[in-house]
Amino acid sequence: MNQSNIPRCLKFFERTVIVTLIAMLVIVILFTVVELGHVILYDIITPPFGLGLDKLFGIFASFLMVLIGVELLESIRAYLKKGVVHVEIVLTVALIAVARKVIILDIKEFPGPMIIGLGVLILALATAMYLIKNPRQTEK
């Protein structure tokens, strides 16, 4: 193999991997949405009718998992299009993941330092998101 062909081969390999990841992620998101719809419909039409608090927490966690998948899809698509990982998208995925963890968290099962650490993580992610969204204007 000629050395000039190596970068082209690597670029082709990279694009193939990314397109494959996108296809697999689309399939996973599609199945997750179908499964979520099935769970909601089953819980509504099966006695006892309605959704209990535990089921609602599970449904909300599943919704957030779908959002994480969609944001990951956007991140991979942006990388495919521009060849750059967008920090804002990564931070959004992280914030959604932490929000999901907070929603399904049973506080009684976690010690205080872990809860404090989760709060610090949320504050750090929110601060990073703020700094990315509102960059300081440099004076001329």
> Any residues with CB less than 8 A from the CB of 125 and at least 6 apart, and which?
91, 94, 95, 98
Rg (alpha carbons) of the chain, rounded to whole number? 20
Q: How many separate domains does the chain show?
A: 1
**pLDDT for 55-112, tens place per residue?**
887 888 888 889 889 988 888 888 888 877 778 888 888 888 888 888 777 778 878 8
Domain for residue 140, yes or no?
no
Domain for residue 35, yes or no?
yes
Domain for residue 107, yes or no?
yes
pTM value is: 0.70
Domain for residue 139, yes or no?
no
Domain for residue 64, yes or no?
yes
Reply yes or no on whether the pLDDT at 140 is more than 50: no
Q: Which domain holds residue 115?
A: 5-133
CA distance 39 to 43: 6
| CB distance 52 to 44 below 8 Å | no
Share of the chain above pLDDT 70, in %: 95
